[in-house]
A and B are shown apart, each in its own frame.
Chain A
């Protein structure tokens, strides 16, 4: 801009036209010359090149044509020659051509314009092309393999060259014209690039001179001499400008600094929240800030110069103000809290600082700072009133409240607290250690340490504590029961104390006490009720005992049908009554929560079997089938209350039988779940009875309910059975449920959890699997230790194991058996053996004759997929993984043995025998019983079984009898006058310590509450039976006791019976001697033929026939109750079944002998009966 404006004012530009035109002229001349000479040189060269090129082209064409026409010339083919020449048409400038033969004759001619001009080819000349008279001519000799065969002639005009020369001339002229034009244009441009910068410099220098603006710079566009001139000019300007700028900046900076400082101070004063005012030494206001204006509601402009004192000092404070002024005069700073008045006359609370100002040692005025303290004053007021409210609140609440600091010193206390603790004024407690004042001791007066104090603990825990039952101590030294809460008080996250609130709980305590004593009374009443029930049951049982027993006895005497029927009714009524009684007792025990469960080892299979066998008769009487199935997975031994378990099962089965008219009742037992410690058994009882309608299904488990009250009338029953069962199941941690379809039947399910006996538990000897005794077994294992363990185990179970260390050895042993020795029944085979593995062995054995009867178990330490399937294929009885638990093995063996009918003895045979085995032996039984009826009943029962009975009416008599007489067994009633049964048992046992003998004692008690049994056993009884005495119970207990004393090897199958042979025999026929005689005669007459048949069968080795005969004979002998003969036959039957002819033959010897003895023993019964009395005598003596 500056430059432009300067240029405008610049004087007329110096003459420079001369330079410009000079430059233009130079450019034009040099440019024109250059173009003309360049064009000329180029044209000459080009024409030369074109002519040479054309010459070469024609020569080349002649050569090509020559080569092409070699064959045509050789063969003298004119046509071919013409064809070749015709191809020259392509070159427009070739006018004529010819081919000559070697001898100079023309073979073919070509003319561009045929026929127009007669073309006569010239004579042959030397090879090559040349210019000649405005045309080019070319000759070329044609050769074949180096020999000339002819020549070619070509003629071309020069039109192309001429045209080209003309074109070049035109081009040169045009180029000259263009270049001159360009030279003028560019030249004018270029000359300005030299003249313009010089003019520019001149203009700029002038402008600077005028404007004094040194910031102007020349812009250099070139790096030449003019550019250098510009640079130097610019550098000079820059130095001048720098100095100018420096001066300017120094001045501005100074001004800014002053302004800044002033603004800063003003801001300081202005933004201060304090009202600031400065005055002159005379007291006039010099300046004030907005806070001052605001505080005193005045306007700055109006107060400047006004006396401060007159402005803000209220009249009543003028004295004080004068005082401040004096103090300031003395150079003192005044600080005070006072009141000042605003311009509107209102007063304001202020805190003020008055400062005298001194400048260079002279009094220069004063400075006063005011702070408005109205809010502070108000807050103090509010705080005061708030505190008063809190105090009021605390004082008016019924709860006692006090505060403590960390030292436990009372910081505040409310009126309720004072009242409860028996004080009058807060001062009595404030600052006192509250723990020492009111919390120093426990209820019982013992010292309550601070460490135990829950109130103090709230400091440590930093959260509220609470005690619902403690005492606090009053001023008068008495204690009050309290419930208290202690909450920590925090200040800035730090616990600084606690607030304690408490309640007087004297009333509550009293109420609790009343409640407790009420509960105790209730419990006492309940105890009394239970006691009463127990006693009642005893009182009822005693006469029931009489009724049942006597009815039983009467039934066993001679009666006519009518009497028997009536008595049967009496008995069944009494039985029902007893059942009802038991049910009610159980129920009341359940209600009272007094029913306990026993936990002792038992064998579930046997236990269930026994219970169901007893019910079998009941079912058969109704024409029903009762079947049961215990799954193989159910362990042989379990821990639990087998009696109660049976009770549940019996109850359900009884119901099933009761409500089923035809069909069957099926019980099945299986394992529901299993842990190492526990087994959950699942029982189901299915019937084909009347069923239960859906709406009744839930009701039936309730007390005193059956599906229909009409059912009760029809089927009888207390309706307590299911309730009791449900309670028992619940106690066994199981559940009970029912599925039913009316008229189709019902299924009752229940589960029970039973403990698995500890590993150390050894089943009682009696439970030893007798069925396995003597069985031959084969253990096949390559490992000797394994063989030893298994052999040992099998031996323990009474089996006769043998060992084989390999498959081949096993095969040898098995093959050996067919030659006489007893067959193997069992083989335990190791799966992994070298040479021949277990499966291979099993396959081989399976196909041998002896293999079919062999039960093979595969034992493997690694269960591989497919092993089980292979086991089945190999015909194995089972697959067990090693190490094999003894119980597992036993279960497996028993499971297979029973299922394959290989048991040593038939279950049915065992069952048939005990009927005749419960027979007295002339043993001397001491019966201690105070109740005459019961005594009589028991005595008759025992004597009928052939026992000699000694009577005692109480414990003392019993003791005396034991001392005095030879006693084999004692039946001891527990409840007796003078000395009760338990005491008597203890006395007997203590005497035995000297005599070193053990008298079997069975205690009889009507107390069937849990614990009675324990009491009896504790006292020394061997067993215990409940009253009323059921003959079966009694004799079963006696059986348990009795054989173990006489027979070290108890045999369930055939207990010794021969001694009481006669009595048993008679009982068998209900004392009908005539019938007996007939039977005996029948047996006697048939026997010789049977024996003969046996002998022959043995000779012919007809094992099956022998087994059949022996079995039949065994049944007959069983009728006579001859144990030894029975056993001999049994043994023979077994050997026969095992196809062991040698042993069978041997066993026949004792059979014959025993049968002979039996015949002799039966002799007395053959003859006609002499007299019943004499016979009775025989029995008893």
Chain B
């Protein structure tokens, strides 16, 4: 049930949140082909119709995550991306969502989605828009498979679910 991008007032906040998620997540040391050299960039990928618009560029670009310099790529197809550290799956890609998640299974990519069954389907973080704020679900099993460590502080803010928990919100 995708909503029109512009109708969502929360997208600006979500765009910032997307960047903040990266701040509370730790990627495995040997991510991205076991390259031993610590990665110096962090790639944000937006798949499908971008609901954030320029607010995303503002929140991400110029705000390094730790020592890592952020980049931002938008693509219509999954194959368009090179390396992704954070992958946002737009609600426009609902149909392909499960295929993408399957393909990514086990890769050290922080997947973020906005469809109501994103986390339950194997995505790591799912936005749940509420009237006055944006809360989110985190599938800790999916995070564990991706080898990502999510800080307790973030988990304390989110609603933690496991594989197979049917969506209870949105």
Binding site for B on A (CB under 8 A): 67-68, 70-72, 74-80, 144-145
Contacts and interface: CB of A to CB of B under 8 A. Distances in A.
Contacts of A77: 133, 157
A71 B66 contact: no
17 contacts: A67-B153, A68-B153, A68-B156, A71-B151, A71-B156, A72-B157, A74-B20, A74-B23, A75-B20, A76-B13, A78-B133, A79-B133, A80-B156, A80-B157, A144-B23, A145-B23, A145-B66
Nearest 9 A/B pairs, CB to CB = A71-B153, A71-B157, A74-B20, A70-B153, A145-B66, A71-B154, A80-B157, A75-B20, A77-B157
B17 interface: yes
B12 to A, nearest CB: 11
Contacts of A76: 13
Interface in B1-43: 13, 16-17, 20, 23-24
B131 to A, nearest CB: 12
Nearest to A84: B156
Contacts of B133: 77-79
Contacts of A79: 133
A72 B17 CA distance: 11
Nearest to B66: A145
Interface of B: 13, 16-17, 20, 23-24, 65-66, 133, 151, 153-154, 156-157
B27 to A, nearest CB: 14
B17 A75 contact: yes
Contacts of B24: 71, 74
Contacts of A67: 153
A78 B20 CA distance: 16
Contacts of B66: 145
A79 B134 CA distance: 11
Given A71-B153, A75-B17, 13 more contacts: A67-B153, A71-B156, A71-B157, A74-B20, A74-B23, A74-B24, A77-B133, A77-B157, A79-B133, A80-B156, A80-B157, A145-B23, A145-B66
A74 B63 CA distance: 13
B30 to A, nearest CB: 21
A79 B23 CA distance: 21
Contacts of A80: 156-157
A67 B156 CA distance: 12
A75 B158 CA distance: 11
A466 B140 CA distance: 128
Contacts of B13: 76
A928 to B, nearest CB: 143
A67 B151 CA distance: 12
A69 to B, nearest CB: 9
Contacts of A74: 20, 23-24
Contacts of A71: 24, 151, 153-154, 156-157
A147 to B, nearest CB: 9
Nearest to B157: A71
A79 B156 CA distance: 12
A474 to B, nearest CB: 145
A72 B154 CA distance: 8
A730 to B, nearest CB: 113
Nearest to B152: A71
B23 A75 contact: no
Interface centre among B13, B16, B20 (most CB of A within 10 A): B20
A890 B154 CA distance: 116
A134 to B, nearest CB: 35
Contacts of B157: 71-72, 75, 77, 80
Nearest to A69: B153
A145 B157 CA distance: 18
Nearest to B154: A71
A438 B151 CA distance: 145
Interface centre among A70, A74, A77, A79 (most CB of B within 10 A): A74
Contacts of B16: 75
Contacts of B65: 145
A78 B24 CA distance: 19
Interface centre among B13, B17, B24, B65 (most CB of A within 10 A): B24
B28 to A, nearest CB: 18
B150 to A, nearest CB: 11
A77 B17 CA distance: 11
A145 B67 CA distance: 10
Nearest to A68: B153
Contacts of A144: 23
A71 B151 CA distance: 9
A78 B133 CA distance: 9
B130 to A, nearest CB: 10
A78 B132 CA distance: 10
A75 B153 CA distance: 11
A102 to B, nearest CB: 13
Nearest to B136: A75
Contacts of A78: 133
A389 to B, nearest CB: 134
A68 B151 CA distance: 11
A381 to B, nearest CB: 135
Contacts of B17: 75
A127 to B, nearest CB: 20
A1143 B26 CA distance: 121
A65 to B, nearest CB: 12
Interface centre among B16, B65, B153 (most CB of A within 10 A): B153
Contacts of B20: 74-75
Nearest to B67: A145
Contacts of A72: 157
B165 to A, nearest CB: 22
A68 B13 CA distance: 21
Contacts of B156: 68, 71, 80
A988 to B, nearest CB: 141
Contacts of B151: 71
Nearest to B134: A75
Nearest to B156: A71
Contacts of A75: 16-17, 20, 157
Contacts of B153: 67-68, 70-71
Contacts of B154: 71
A67 B17 CA distance: 19
A451 B157 CA distance: 139
Nearest to A71: B153
A68 B65 CA distance: 20
Contacts of A145: 23, 65-66
B92 to A, nearest CB: 25
A1117 B131 CA distance: 150
Nearest to A67: B153
B22 to A, nearest CB: 11
Interface centre among B16, B151, B154, B156 (most CB of A within 10 A): B156
B114 to A, nearest CB: 16
Contacts of B23: 74, 144-145
A77 B157 CA distance: 9
Interface centre among A68, A71, A72, A77 (most CB of B within 10 A): A71
A78 B153 CA distance: 15
A1045 to B, nearest CB: 130
A1048 B65 CA distance: 143
Nearest to B153: A71
B9 to A, nearest CB: 14
A1154 to B, nearest CB: 123
A148 to B, nearest CB: 14
A80 to B, nearest CB: 5
A1015 B153 CA distance: 145
A144 B22 CA distance: 12
A457 to B, nearest CB: 123
A72 B156 CA distance: 9
A75 B133 CA distance: 10
A86 B64 CA distance: 33
A144 B65 CA distance: 10
B152 to A, nearest CB: 9
A70 B65 CA distance: 15
A241 B65 CA distance: 106
A499 to B, nearest CB: 128
A71 B16 CA distance: 13
